[in-house]
Amino acid sequence: MLFSDYHTHPQGHRVQPYTQELLGPWADSARKIGLRDIAFTDHDRYHAGIDFDEIDRLREKNFDLKIRAGVELDNDPGHSAAGRKWIEQHWGKLDFVLGSVHFLCRDDQMFDSVPAGAEQFEGRDIDAIYIDYFRRVREVAATGLVDCLAHLDLIKIHGHRPNAEIHRWLA
Ligand SMILES: [Zn+2]
Ligand SMILES: [Zn+2]
């Protein structure tokens, strides 16, 4: 049985400062479905909303749960440099850092936007896109800041499959 979830976005996709009202339902529903160990991993571009004191307060009220303070660091050309800096500054308080790739050749649009991001694949060499994707995955891993990579298979979100064996590109 699944007992942990280390990929959650309490803020959704905007800055919503952490409060007990925002975080409490996550603890309640974790308990309800039998999770004992959860991590909050909002995207690094919303780091302004993350409040470690609020996470501490939530821990005090939910001593039966392991609640980890985390973040998802992706490769957003506009924000992730600041995100990396924030992670370094708060390293001592972070229990868990997810790493992910949401951007390919376009700086202004996540490739996994549905449906708009599908345009980034149209008429392109899919193998080349896969190679580029895994190069970017390695870059995120090479920051040395991430504990785990998220949704490694996100590249297939629009249904494109590589023509070659991908294991060589993963090395
Ligand atoms: Zn995520
Ligand atoms: Zn992600």
End-to-end CA distance of the chain: 31
Closest by Cα among 45, 90, 99 to 69: 90
β-pair type (37-40, 4-5): parallel
- Kindly report, residue by residue over 99-132, the tens digit of the pLDDT: 999 999 999 999 999 999 999 999 999 999 999 9
Distance from residue 62's CA to the centre of ligand 2 (Å)? 27
Distance from residue 73's CA to the centre of ligand 1 (Å)? 9
Ligand approaching nearest to the C-alpha of 42: 1
Distance from residue 74's CA to the centre of ligand 2 (Å)? 7
3-class DSSP state for residue 43? strand
Ligand approaching nearest to the C-alpha of 110: 2
pLDDT band at 166 (very low <50, low <70, confident <90, very high): confident
- Kindly report, residue by residue over 50-98, the tens digit of the pLDDT: 999 999 999 999 999 999 999 999 999 999 999 999 999 999 999 999 9
Distance from residue 127's CA to the centre of ligand 1 (Å)? 25
Residues less than 5 Å from ion ligand 1, measured at CB: 72
- Kindly report, residue by residue over 17-59, the tens digit of the pLDDT: 999 999 999 999 999 999 999 999 999 999 999 999 999 999 9
Ligand approaching nearest to the C-alpha of 70: 1
For residues 73 and 103, the answer to whether their CB atoms sit within 8 Å is no
What's the confidence (pLDDT) of residue 169?
Answer: 75
Distance from residue 71's CA to the centre of ligand 2 (Å)? 10
Distance from residue 71's CA to the centre of ligand 1 (Å)? 9
